[in-house]
Structures are given as structure tokens and as C-alpha cells.
Amino acid sequence: MDLQHISLISFGYFEADLLRNMAEAVKKEYLLDVNLKEGHMDLSEFYDPTRRQYNGVRLIREVEASFSADSSKTIGLFNVDLFIPILTYIFGQAFLNGRTGIASSYRLSNERYGMNSDNTVFLERYVKEVIHELGHTFGLIHCHIPTCVMRSSTYVEDIDQKNPHLCPACRMEYNKTLTRL
Amino acid sequence: MAKKISILIVDDEESVRDSLYNWFIEDGYRVECAENAKKALSLLENEVYDIILADIKMPGMDGLEMLRRIKLIKSDAIVIVMTAFATVDTAVQALKDGAFDYVTKPFDPDDLSHLIRNASKQISLAEENENLKMKVVSLENVEDLIGKSEAIKKVLKDIETVAQSNSSVVITGESGTGKELVARAIHSNSPRRYFPLVSVHCGALTESLLESELFGHEKGAFTGAMYNRKGRFEMADNGTIFLDEIATISTKMQIDLLRVLESKKFVRVGGNKEISSDFRVICATNRDLKSMVENGTFREDLYYRLNVVNIYVPPLRERLEDIPLLVDYFIRKYCTSMNREPVAIEPAALKRLEEFSFPGNVRELENMIERAIVVGNGKKIVMKDLPLEKSIINNSVESLDELERLHILQILNKYNWNITRAAKALKVDRVTLYNKISKYGIAR
């Protein structure tokens, strides 16, 4: 399996600076090359009118089937509200030990919660979310260290409390995964 | 996470199963899925799951019926039911049927995390509780069995081994060695500990009294039987009956006892209704039951019925190194009960106690210490407070040879069978000591 690079594929409009900064942060964290790509998909097929959200289970399967063919780790970047049937919303999800994940920026901006816009905070949150989902694709499970990026987050406040980095234990696990591959 | 929690997801919708599966896998849980109740129950027959997350509405057997069946298999299983808004009443019914909690679909990610965290906490608390119970049980009621000698350690080990079983036990040992304490310790550490331990001193009762005492009697069964009375076997239901001085019971009582032990059923004196009682029997004797069987004074079948496990409680002279600990224990015990400051003991007095043979064993030592505290100056136990000389005169040993044999044995034990040191203490040479050991057949 070629694990020499990570693909970040944006579906929808994102600022070029945001994507570049994100790619830089991911590269720094996982020490692998990061490719930025644009993906095109008709999102209306994944829209659930009763919930007025997008079905994350079907989206991740589509990204896996149509955009992960080069066998690198792939994260689909979305700016729509994601859900899975059992939960009211998700920030993102990934296949544990797989090669695909998705992450949405929809619930990460301050404006969503009635606060002033802050691009730095927004970027930090999104970077953490993408690094978190990538961690799952490398086989990392949720971590109990409060500052570790692999800590489970159900609210943006939870995301704000953690660092954009793996804790030493998760880092060791990640290094083991790399040596096994 | 100390232990990897396992979760079984039961839902007929594949998307729900997949979503939950991925969510829990990312959290580090061990997860299994079943698409219906039948498959879930078959998985539960072979595997233990800590938490079962089940949908209420499923084709075939619904979640409520499955919950009831799971509770039959494992009454403490943690089952969380999932329901749509429209079926909250059903969820309430599920709670009444023993569900741990319920969630309405779709649920907030935080609710799910909290729910699983609470369930995990419940599991670890239950495990901790069980562990603590085990710890408490392992220490319960053995505090009176004082000592650090190998002999007493073996007794404690035997107690630990037999306590969890339901087997009959015969405790042998000289009078005053603490056989009843051993019986209490076995009962206190057994699964029957929450039920009574009923003691009967067989040697103190005549045959007819013992019969009435053990089996109970009906009103009017004999002169003076004014009321119905429960017997000790009946009182010991679910618990333990301790029959002290079992060797003293008559032949007729031996037959009656054998019958009860085999059937766990009996009839009260003067009654005609058969009564069942589930008890464990522990006996004690200071006599050699085996030789009584050989002499024909104790029934062989009863002997084998009772003597499933034998615990030998050594006399105090075989564990002289325990005397300082016992002295200290009894000083504290009696000073506390007399509301006094603990008194000290003069080293010479303690040394004298360690050299004494104690024919009355621990009971004699206990009485000696109690007396010394009563008659002493309240600060220190000294030689004159201890009635050692009197005890020697009262000793049952009459022949000089026997006295010499006991003394040599005591000194040998004191010096851990170091012949040179023992001979020096006895003020004889080593050859003389060897000759004496050989003459009296003294063995370690």
C-alpha cells in the first residue's frame, strides 16, 4: 500500500489559504506529503429532507469508492451539516484502520453559535478535526488525555480544549503503524 | 481504560448498526452487531457482553421480549434500549423490566457518550464491589486466630480452602485449642455467612434433651413441652450447624444424625410433619474418632459422612512462638473490656510463659492473662501474677517419665530442635539428650 502521501479533497468552496495552512499542519503532524485536490460530487443525492442534513454514512462510502483509488489516506472536506442515522450530527468520521475519512466545517465557525467571526479559531478547529479523523485511519482510537487531538469531541468547546497534536502515547502508536507498513 | 468494555448492538437497520459500530470502535470498545433478537440471544449464549444496546422495534421478537430473556440469562446485564419518540411509553416499560436506560433516536453524540460512560462506571463499580467483598470475606472473623507459626498458618489455609465448599468438616484438637473459633471462621468466610451459625454442645446434654434440641418438638410431645419449638437443624436453615464434642453422642443419636445428614429432612419430636433444612455441618472433637470407629463406639458410616475434610488445630505447646502474640492480644482484649490502659508484661514472666506446657492450651493462657490483669498492679504483669506453679501441680501428667518427656519436647521445640542448645538448656550432654529422645520416642 502506498502510504507516502495524504490527500485532502475539498468538496465545495474553501478559502485557498485555509486549505494551504491545513495541508501544512497535517504534513507537520504526520510527517507525510499532503496533496490538496478538488472533488466534485452532487451533494443533493446525500441530502435528507426530513433531517435537513447530509448523510455522512453514504458520503464517506462515496468518497471511499470514487476518490480513494490511489490507496493513500484520503479525507473529504465538506462545508455541509453531516449526520449519521443514529446521531443528531457529526463533525466528521473515518474508517478505523481504513483509508478514508470525512470532516465538515459546518459546525466549526463562531458565527454558528452567535459569536463574532474568528478565522484563526475556525482554522484551528478544522485542522484538529482533520488530524483527528486521519488518526482513526491510522488505527488510533479515542484518547483519554484531555489535550490530545485524538480526544473525542462532541461540542466545539471540546475541540477548543485540545491541541492539534498527538499525545506521546498516540504518537508512539502512530509510529508503530508506520513501521508496520 | 482498565478493561476493554464489550458492547452488543441489536438493531434491524443496517445503517444504525454501522453508525454505532464505527462510533464505538473509535472509542476503543469491543463491538459486535446482531440484526435481530434471535441472533443476539444466540451470541449471548456463547459470549459475555458488558453492555447491550437494543432497538425496541424489530421484526420477529421485539426488544422488550429480548430484554426479558436476556435478564433470565444474566440478571445483572446492562441493557440500554433505543426507541423513536413515538414509543416512549414502551421505553418506560423497558425500564420497569430492568433496562439500565433508554435513548430516543437520533441521539445527541454527547448523550450517547454519557450513557456509555455511566454504564461503564456501573460495571467497574460492580466489579470493585465484588472485589472488596472478597477482600472483606478473606479477613472476616479470623482475628481471634492469633499466631504466625507454620502450624496456625496451615489452619488458616485450611479454613480458606474449605470455606467456599459445602463439605462437612471435622475439627480435631485438644480442649482449649480454639476449635469453635475455627468453625466460626469457616462459617464467616462461606457463602452461608449471611445465615445463622448454630452451635450445639453435644457433651452437655442428655440423649433426650439433645434430640429435642436438635430436632425441636411439638407441643405436648413430652411433659413440659408447652409450646412448639424449632430445633437447631431448623434454625440452621441456609446456614451452618456446629456440633461440638460430637464423640460424646449416643449410638441412637448417631443413627438419627446420619439420617438427617443424608436426607436433610427430619421430624420434630412428637410431630409427624417432615421438615427440610439446608445446612452445612461442622463438628469438633478432642478425641480420636478413627480409633473410636475401630473400637466400635462410633459408627463408621457417620464418621465418613462427617469427616469429608479434617482440620487439626495444634496444641499451644506445638506453637510456642505464638505465645507473645497471644499474650499481647489477650492483654489488649481484657484491658479494653475492663476499661483500663493496656498493661505491659515483665520479660521474665513472658519467658516463663513461653516455657510452660499449657495443658489447657490457649484457653488456659487466656484465663491466666485475664486473672493477671485483675489481680496485678495495673501497670505490669509480673511473675507472681501468673499461676504457673499451681498449674503444673494440677497438670494431668502423673508419671515422672511423662513429665520428663513433655519437658524435653518443650525445650526442643523452644530451641527449634537445635540439639546442642537444647542439651545446654537442660544441663545434660548431647548424648544423654539423644538417648532420652530415643527412649521416649520423641519426634519432631
pLDDT digits (tens, 9 = 90+) for A15-24: 999 999 999 9
For residue B106, give the nearest of B34, B20, B24, B40 by alpha carbon.
B20
Q: Which pLDDT does position A165 carry in this prediction?
A: 96
Closest Cα of chain A to B30: distance in Å? 12
Q: Which pLDDT does position A1 carry in this prediction?
A: 46
Mutation choice for A interface testing from B11, B13, B23, B26 by most A CBs within 10 A:
B26
Specify the pairing of strand B216-217 against strand B229-230: antiparallel
Find chain B residues with C-beta within 8 A of A59's C-beta: none
- pLDDT at A109 exceeding the cut of 90: yes
Q: Which pLDDT does position B285 carry in this prediction?
A: 93
Find chain A residues with C-beta within 8 A of B16's C-beta: 85-86
Per-residue pLDDT of chain B (444 residues; tens, 9 = 90+): 446 788 999 999 888 888 888 888 888 888 999 999 999 988 888 788 889 999 888 888 888 889 888 888 777 889 998 887 656 777 788 888 888 888 888 888 778 878 888 888 888 888 778 767 655 545 455 667 888 888 888 998 899 889 888 899 999 998 888 898 899 889 988 888 888 888 898 888 888 888 888 998 887 777 777 777 788 898 888 899 999 999 989 988 999 999 999 888 888 888 888 888 899 999 999 888 888 999 888 999 999 999 899 999 999 988 888 898 899 889 988 888 888 888 888 888 888 888 888 888 888 888 989 988 888 887 888 888 887 754 444 455 667 888 888 888 888 887 878 888 899 989 898 889 998 988 888 877
A140, A173 contact by CB (below 8 A): yes
Does B23 sit within 8 Å of A88, measured CB to CB?
Answer: no
Does A96 sit within 8 Å of B25, measured CB to CB?
Answer: yes
d(CA B318, CA B442): 13
Closest Cα of chain B to A16: distance in Å? 31
Does B28 sit within 8 Å of A87, measured CB to CB?
Answer: no
Within 10 A of B86 (CB to CB), how many other CB atoms are there?
A: 9
> Across the interface, which of B15, B16, B28 has its CB nearest the CB of A141?
B28
- pLDDT at A149 exceeding the cut of 90: yes
Buried b (16+ CB within 10 A) or exposed e, B383-407: eebbbbeebeeeeeeeeeeeeebbe
- pLDDT at A85 exceeding the cut of 80: yes
A116 three-class SS: coil
Q: Which pLDDT does position A173 carry in this prediction?
A: 92
Does A144 sit within 8 Å of B22, measured CB to CB?
Answer: no
Find the closest chain B residue to A90 by CA distance: B109
Find chain B residues with C-beta within 8 A of A144's C-beta: 1
Q: Is A129 a catalytic residue?
A: no
Does A142 sit within 8 Å of B105, measured CB to CB?
Answer: no
B397, B403 contact by CB (below 8 A): yes
If you count them, how many residues does chain A have?
A: 181
Does A87 sit within 8 Å of B107, measured CB to CB?
Answer: yes
> What percentage of residues in chain A have a pLDDT greater than 70?
97
Q: All 3 cell numbers of residue B94?
A: 423497558
Q: Which pLDDT does position A83 carry in this prediction?
A: 93
Least confident of A93-97, A173-177, B132-136: B132-136
The answer to whether the peptide bond before residue B106 is cis (omega within 30 degrees of 0) is yes
Q: Which pLDDT does position A56 carry in this prediction?
A: 93
ipTM of the complex: 0.75
Q: Is B13 on the interface with A (CB under 8 A)?
A: yes
A7 three-class SS: strand
For residue B172, give the nearest of B236, B261, B240, B247 by alpha carbon.
B247
Q: Is B105 on the interface with A (CB under 8 A)?
A: yes
Find the closest chain A residue to B82 by CA distance: A86
Band of pLDDT at residue A135, cut at 50, 70 and 90: very high
- pLDDT at A140 exceeding the cut of 60: yes
Catalytic-role residue among A62, A124, A133, A173: A133
Q: Is A155 on the interface with B (CB under 8 A)?
A: yes
Mutation choice for B interface testing from A86, A132, A137 by most B CBs within 10 A:
A86
Q: Which pLDDT does position B124 carry in this prediction?
A: 83
Count chain A–chain B contacts defined by CB atoms under 8 A.
Answer: 61
For residue B214, give the nearest of B202, B222, B224, B227 by alpha carbon.
B202
- pLDDT at A99 exceeding the cut of 70: yes
DSSP letter for each residue of A152-172? --SSHHHHHHS-SS--HHHHH
Q: Is B125 on the interface with A (CB under 8 A)?
A: no
Q: What are the angstrom distances between the C-alpha of B412 and each of B27, B154, B164, B181, B317?
A: 67, 21, 38, 28, 11
Bridge partners of A35, per DSSP, are A7
